[in-house]
Amino acid sequence: MGKKILIVDDEPNIVMTLEYTFKKQDFEVFIARDGSEALQILETNAPDVVLLDIMMPNVDGYQTLNYIKKKDSLKNTKVVFLTAKNKASDIEKGLKLGADKYLTKPFSVKKIVSEINELLD
């Protein structure tokens, strides 16, 4: 099996598209519909990369990123924000908080795959 990716987003169509795409790329795919589900998955799995929305119910993307950055077992996990928050100040905040990349919606699937593969190489 290839690399592991955790997709965290509350929009079903985005999740479905990304899950299909990354499975075709030979990734082992984990899905969380919000940050609290992501935290449960991260307790027992250390994915290579987390593709993370910011605006979600319960636990948001910033809180999820903070958890990942504090957990020793996840220190090698890359985090990529994928969000509709596209102002320069949003991007700056996301990167300052520790995201490895910041991508905005709407998105090109090809670009996301390229960015993730580049990050993991």
**Topology of domain 4-120, CATH:** Rossmann fold (3.40.50)
Q: Which residue has the tokens 């994928």?
A: 82
- What is the structure's pLDDT at 57? 87
Token pair, residue 80, equals: 């990529």
d(CA 113, CA 50): 13
Which ranges of the chain have pLDDT less than 70?
A: 1
> Is 54 strand, coil or helix?
coil
| pTM across the whole model | 0.95
Q: Which pLDDT score is estimated for 1? A: 57
- Domain ranges in the chain are 4-120
